Structure 1
Amino acid sequence: MPNKVAPCIGLLSTAINMDYLVKPFQRVMPEIDLRIGRALADLGNLDQIEAAVCWHPPQGALAGLPNLRLMQSLAAGIEHMMIDSSLPREVPLCRIVDPGMAGGMKAYVAWAVSHQQRFMPAYLSSRAEQKWLEQPIVAPRKHRVGIAGLGTLGLDCATMLANIGYSVSGWSRTEKLDLPSAIKGFHGAAQLGSFLATCDTLICLLPLTNQTKGFLSAELFQQLPRGAHLINVGRGDHLVEEDLIPALDAGLLSVATLDTFSHEPLPPQHPFWADSRIVITPHIATRTEPEVIVRQTLQNLEMIKQNQVPAHQVDIKLGY
């Protein structure tokens, strides 16, 4: 970005080390002024900061930046920022949209679904015992997969699973028009029960809002076909964690594959670790490349300076 004054950008997180973004920012704009911290006291002169790139920023910090022009989430999710009641609502809040994330998410979802549907845990157990044992072969078209959340990632995953041959349905808060013919659409509270009844495997890819927090609950599990497989690649707070093991014990669910949790890393004493019916991965379903974060942050800040609406701005009232 030649002939432009380099901005001052704060990298704020109480959860991760943001140093990994320094070199990508400097490669694009060597003269950029970056401030890294877990608290406002780490950022120097607060009057100079124009944009804040955040992942679980400290409560109240963004309201303490008097000349802030952009609040940029580090990822697609923005709930980690929305929990701050002092969030300056007059400042644009943007999320990252990474086309490359779809490939990672599709690969993870394809693995998670087929791993259980093709009885791979049983084969791994047989391998450990040096036994040649065949499991039933169930055609994908006979296995019904439902995706709650038909945003960009949800629709990409639904299309991919349909292309493999699975029977796929999707549910969203509002009606999705022009869905591919291979995907059966449901929408709204009135159709949620009908959707859940079609899910031998249920995948959660909803945005996290006040309405979807606790979506994966005992009440919902009772509406699934008995012995369903739950996959959560949305957010940890979609799941009421204390409802999961009782649902497994009751046979409402047979297995759960979880990539996100309310508290990360998952504490060592957490009961999920000891339950073999729960497959745990450490929030690795897909990741955003640093270069994408850098490019979108700088582009959004420049658009705001030109009195344009930045890309992927969030409607704070809706929460997505």
Structure 2
Amino acid sequence: MITVLFSAREDIWPNYETRLPEALAEEGLAARVVREADPAEVDWIVYAPNGGLTDFSPFTKLKGVQSLWAGVEQIVGNPTLKVPLARMVDPGMTEGMVEWVTGHVLRHHLGMDADIKRTDGQWVRHVAPLARERTVAMLGLGALGTACARALAGLNFDVRGWSRSEKRIDGITCAHGDEGLAEVLREAEIAVLLLPDTPATTNLLDAVRLALMPNGAVIINPGRGPLIDDDALLEALDEGRIGHATLDVFREEPLPAGHPFWHHPRVTVTPHIASETRPVTAVRSAAANIARAERGEGLLHTVDFGLGY
């Protein structure tokens, strides 16, 4: 019998209280899933940073931590964490991100806002180019970025992928490194950001790189708030060099009511909803990963503490 501590917000516990034990049992594990336990008895922790747990040192028997979130920036630097940490990579999360990204890329590609917001009775016709004539940059080619890039390529968009290190994806033109980023941005009529928050990605889109993009380009950020220099983005929006920014993530969340993004005519704010962890599918991913480790096969999607993701 293993002991699994569920450390996340109290209000989401009812969504996992029966589902997680059932998923572990389906994987052939005899498991006790609890909200509280003697740290010396805990084998695994299913974790979210908002659960209040910050000191892992009392968990002397701990084998690993399975995150409920894809992002790990709030835990990866914790000096008390000495065991493997696995990111949440889950089909439901991936599907949700693909749907959100595809929806907003199509929205901007088709110019839907012009019709949705028109209330003046003017019959103004505008016809978008075909998707194959629109270049979309996917900045970040992890599990989520790759899935979104493939979905957009399936709609015939001219997708250019970028990652910090070299990657190859069938059907996607990929680039990497600083020179590759500049090359991709120069062509990007729509840029989607799906990168982790690390020192190497902070302010990835700064004034210099924003200036590389075609006039009127659109930025869609469901990744992490610090990827973009907010002041530089606002200046580019004010000047019309960037046509619109649809932002789902921010440096401070919830986004303060007085923040300029709320009131800017070229900004769409969504409340960090692009890809929620869905308990129905997340419990299966978490249970399968723990079961792998218990069989001696090792955790999937482990974090490189040196890289920060």
TM-score normalised according to structure 2 size: 0.88
2:218–2:243 contact (8 Å) kept in structure 1? yes
1:79 to 73, 84, 98: 73
Deviates more, 1:187-196 or 1:95-104: 95-104
CA 1:104 to 1:293, structure 2 compared with 1: closer, same or farther past 3 Å?
Answer: closer
Q: Does 1:138 align with 2:129?
A: yes
CA 1:88 to 1:201, structure 2 compared with 1: closer, same or farther past 3 Å?
Answer: same
Residue aligning to 1:180: 170
Output the CA distance in 1 between the equivalents of 2:24 and 2:181.
48
1:120 to 102, 112, 132: 112
SS of the residue corresponding to residue 117 of structure 2 reads helix
1:66 to 47, 57, 60: 60
2:39 to 24, 31, 46: 46
Residue aligning to 1:97: 89
Equivalent residues, number? 304
How big is the shift at 1:13? Answer: 3.6
Output the CA distance in 1 between the equivalents of 2:68 and 2:130.
39
Unpaired stretches in structure 1, ≥5 consecutive residues: 37-42
Q: Does 1:157 align with 2:148?
A: yes
1:25–1:32 contact (8 Å) kept in structure 2? no
SS of the residue corresponding to residue 137 of structure 2 reads strand
Output the CA distance in 2 between the equivalents of 1:218 and 1:18.
43
Q: CA RMSD in A?
A: 2.4
SS of the residue corresponding to residue 80 of structure 1 reads coil
Q: Does 1:191 align with 2:191?
A: no
Residue aligning to 2:243: 254
Output the CA distance in 2 between the equivalents of 1:298 and 1:163.
32
Q: Does 1:24 align with 2:19?
A: yes
CA 1:276 to 1:22, structure 2 compared with 1: closer, same or farther past 3 Å?
Answer: farther
How big is the shift at 1:274? Answer: 1.3
Q: Deviations over 1:168-227 (max 9, x none)?
A: 1111112223x334x222111222211110101111112332211221222221121122
Output the CA distance in 1 between the equivalents of 2:60 and 2:194.
35
How big is the shift at 1:116? Answer: 1.7
2:40–2:58 contact (8 Å) kept in structure 1? no
Alignment of 1:233-272 (within 5 A): 233-272=222-261
CA 1:277 to 1:21, structure 2 compared with 1: closer, same or farther past 3 Å?
Answer: same
Alignment of 1:190-209 (within 5 A): 190-209=179-198
Residue aligning to 2:272: 283
Specify the code of the residue in structure 2 equivalent to 1:110.
Answer: T
1:72–1:94 contact (8 Å) kept in structure 2? yes
1:193–1:223 contact (8 Å) kept in structure 2? yes
Specify the code of the residue in structure 1 equivalent to 2:117.
Answer: S
Residue aligning to 1:273: 262
Specify the code of the residue in structure 1 equivalent to 2:104.
Answer: A
CA 1:19 to 1:268, structure 2 compared with 1: closer, same or farther past 3 Å?
Answer: farther
SS of the residue corresponding to residue 75 of structure 2 reads helix
Residue aligning to 1:219: 208
Q: Does 1:166 align with 2:166?
A: no
How big is the shift at 1:129? Answer: 2.9
Output the CA distance in 2 between the equivalents of 1:197 and 1:309.
41
Specify the code of the residue in structure 2 equivalent to 1:132.
Answer: W
Output the CA distance in 1 between the equivalents of 2:269 and 2:11.
20
CA 1:301 to 1:17, structure 2 compared with 1: closer, same or farther past 3 Å?
Answer: same
Question: How much identity, in percent, do the aligned residues show?
Answer: 32
Residue aligning to 1:315: 304
Unpaired stretches in structure 2, ≥5 consecutive residues: none
Q: Does 1:88 align with 2:81?
A: yes
2:23–2:287 contact (8 Å) kept in structure 1? no
CA 1:80 to 1:186, structure 2 compared with 1: closer, same or farther past 3 Å?
Answer: same
